[in-house]
Amino acid sequence: MKQIRPIAFIAALFLSLLCQAQEMIRISTSDHEMVMAAYNAGPVHFVYWGEKVQGDAFPFQPGKNQPDTQDDITPRIYPSYGGRHYLTPALRLTHSDGVLTTDLVYAGHTVSVLDENRKETVISLKDRIYPVTVSVRFLAYQKENVIAQSVTLSHSEPSQVVVESIASSFIPFHADSYWLTHFNGTWAHEMQLEEERLTHGQKVIESKKGVRATQSENPSFILSLDGPLAEDSGEVYAGALAWSGNYRLVFELDETGRLGVTSGINPFASELILEPGKYLETPQMILSYSPAGAGQLSRNMHDWARRYGMTHGDVLHPVLLNSWEGAYFTFDEKTIIDMIDKAASAGVEMFVLDDGWFGNRHPRNGDNAGLGDWQVNRKKLPRGIDHLADHAVSKGMRFGIWIEPEMVNPDSDLAHKHPEWIVRSGEREVLTMRNQWLLDLTNPEVQDFIVKTFDEVLGQSDNISYVKWDANRHVDNVGSTYLPADRQSHFWYEYVRRLYDVYERIRAKHPDIMIQLCSSGGGRLDYGALKYHDEFWASDNTNALDRIYIQHSTNLLFPAIATGSHVSTSPNHQTDMLIPLKFRFDVAMGGRLGMELQPSSLVGEEYEFSCKAIAVYKDFVRPLVQLGDLYRLESPYSGTGWSSHMHVAKDKSEAVMFAYCMKYNGRTTFFSTRLKGLDPESVYKVEEINEGNVPSFPAGTLTSTGDYLMKVGLQLRIDKPFSSCVLKISKIPCSDSQ
């Protein structure tokens, strides 16, 4: 990122000398830093974000002036509406006397070392006239090179202030060109990568869906300066908003050539009334920088996420069988027991009972009834959940169960008992989506109900160790019978805050339970919710070809350990596509491996292959995929028809490489690639694992230096669609390699 251009006018120079920065505030991680210039009772300018600058002298001068005024318009760290900030403001208030503008100036800052890895800097801003305080908080994670930014607003005006918009962060950039990568999608087609060069004006990425807010666009981005996103070169910046409701990311390129990126909760229909003495806190914007392309950026985010952005990110996740595609709503006790038995014999470590196990007066035999009535269906499962969970444990497996506690079918006891708990807009019709309504989480009774439901579902057996938490609709006809008339616009903010309260209460009671984040697939994939979960279900699309794209994009910012990735049947239930079992396994192994099928359908060679693949994953692949470093070798979006990536152990002693052929390129072409992330000096043995009937690695076994593998590379025989290869790369101890 360029520094702000030198000032152009003598008058401005004079002015700038008069108002030398009182303080340069440097927010640093191990390798990078943000720099801000604070002026006594004046602005705090955003000066720089990039690689660390050596030395203490930082002779920053405010930048280019408005030609027709003497005021500098150097970007501030947190621009408010008013004055000469013409981009989308980070903060817009209506003061208690009706005044629409806010003018924030520096009022001090504090730096606290929270522990060996986290340093917190809080910059205090105050309005020049009104008793309004804004604290901009930067939490710098040293080792991971990640900075989390959030804002707290409070005031002591005589009466309420209306918060019209309040962002988590504003980041200004100055470069010759800006390339934005973002992720759109829909059900079963989540996280589709799009890259575009930004032109003058605004590009807005947002959600107004409240729940299932990431189904159409994820609240995250990667920005590449001066050229399209590359894997190993170029200055790139990542942002991921930790918020599970309406959000808005605004990219605004102005006439000076600067880009302002304003990220936060969506102000749409969301005015927030703030009483004197109360405060309002924004979600965190998770930010990271890499001077060397997307690869390093992803590794920063993954390291951060495993330690701070998810639950149990440092322990290996089990291979599981989820019952959904194998049984849907149609099962009885025997169906489930048989699934458990077969899965156990194949080496699967956890069985998850999906939708359909509850509801008696309104049995959950389809998606049209029972939601809200979380008692086991005695007709389907006469001996209850405990019998199934105990059986799984007796087979050496763990047991998990599906819930969707924020929702209710009209055809349920709960909907009849508590019509006032349902999200509704006055007297308007309450629209159903997937035959269900949404419970009003702003209501404390609903919050208690969800916590109680979670407890009661777990209370069915001591042997439940995993919960899949689903949310299969979004918000329309918004409104709450709990919130007062003048607080209806608080619904969007309150829903998410109270959801987080509920998660907090549940996590306090059940710290060891694994919880999967699901929302019709990847409809709630954000770091606000993931913090309380162990993993997410990336998509209901289990078709291996589509999963290559979904997992590639997802893993740009979210780690593989959290990416639920299941082998399903062929033809695929979503796409009808026929894909060989090996390819399906090789793709699913790139995340937290699982199965999503009726295991009795796996017979003969297919069963043998599945057992072998699960063993290979557990023995060698899992620790690397889940806890290692991701290096992308070939993007599925490259258009070559191949996709490849590898995961390398932190100490570079081992690696696993995956390569997939996605289309036919003719008889004379072949896939070759250079490896990454190895130790150039060390000697490695490379061999194919999880092989099919035809070997894909013509060399058989190869021994070579990391340097050779990274400079010359490897050739693979994967030239037919759905051929794939998995390579085991292991360092040979010095004595053996001589």
**Which residue ranges make up the site for ligand GLA (CB under 6 A)?**
324, 354-355, 367, 402, 470, 472, 518, 520-521, 537, 540
Across-strand partners of 561?
none
Query: If DSSP states are collapsed to H, E and C, what string results for 536-573?
Result: EECCCCCCHHHHHHHHHHHHHHCCHHHEEEEEECCCCC
Cβ distance to ligand GLA smaller for residue 121 or 554? 554
Cβ distance to ligand GLA smaller for residue 271 or 540? 540
Answer yes or no: are the C-beta atoms of 310 and 318 closer than 8 Å: no
By beta-carbon distance, which residue lies closest to ligand GLA?
A: 355
**CB of residue 357 to ligand GLA, shortest distance in Å:** 11
Query: Does residue 252 sit in helix, strand or coil?
Result: strand
**CB of residue 508 to ligand GLA, shortest distance in Å:** 26
Across-strand partners of 48?
35
Q: Amino acid identity, residue 78? A: Y
Exactly one of 373, 470, 526, 719 is catalytic; which is it?
Answer: 470
Q: Amino acid identity, residue 240? A: A
Q: Which residues of 592-619 are buried (b: 16+ CB within 10 A; e: fewer)?
A: bbbbbbbbeebeeeebebbebbbebbbe
Say whether the peptide bond before residue 484 is cis (omega within 30 degrees of 0).
no
Gap between the Cα atoms of 221 and 291, Å rounded: 16
**CB of residue 367 to ligand GLA, shortest distance in Å:** 6
**CB of residue 450 to ligand GLA, shortest distance in Å:** 17
3-state DSSP percent of the chain in helix, strand and coil, to 5: 25, 35, 45
Whether 440 is catalytic: no
Gap between the Cα atoms of 634 and 640, Å rounded: 9
Cβ distance to ligand GLA smaller for residue 367 or 501? 367
Whether 540 is catalytic: yes
Cβ distance to ligand GLA smaller for residue 567 or 633? 567
Gap between the Cα atoms of 401 and 351, Å rounded: 8
Query: Does residue 183 sit in helix, strand or coil?
Result: strand
**CB of residue 241 to ligand GLA, shortest distance in Å:** 22
Cβ-proximal residues to 642 (8 Å cutoff; 6+ apart), any chain? 634, 659, 660, 661, 662, 671, 673, 718
**CB of residue 520 to ligand GLA, shortest distance in Å:** 5
Gap between the Cα atoms of 467 and 389, Å rounded: 13
| End-to-end Cα separation, the chain, in angstroms | 47
List the structure tokens of 732.
Answer: 């040979």
**CB of residue 354 to ligand GLA, shortest distance in Å:** 5
Cβ distance to ligand GLA smaller for residue 401 or 648? 401
**CB of residue 540 to ligand GLA, shortest distance in Å:** 5
Cβ distance to ligand GLA smaller for residue 16 or 412? 412
Exactly one of 303, 373, 540, 719 is catalytic; which is it?
Answer: 540
Q: Look at residues 660, 690, 673 and name the one whose alpha carbon lies nearest to residue 548.
A: 660
Phi, psi of 313 (to 5 degrees): -75, -5
Cβ distance to ligand GLA smaller for residue 377 or 520? 520
Question: Active-site residue numbers?
Answer: 470, 540
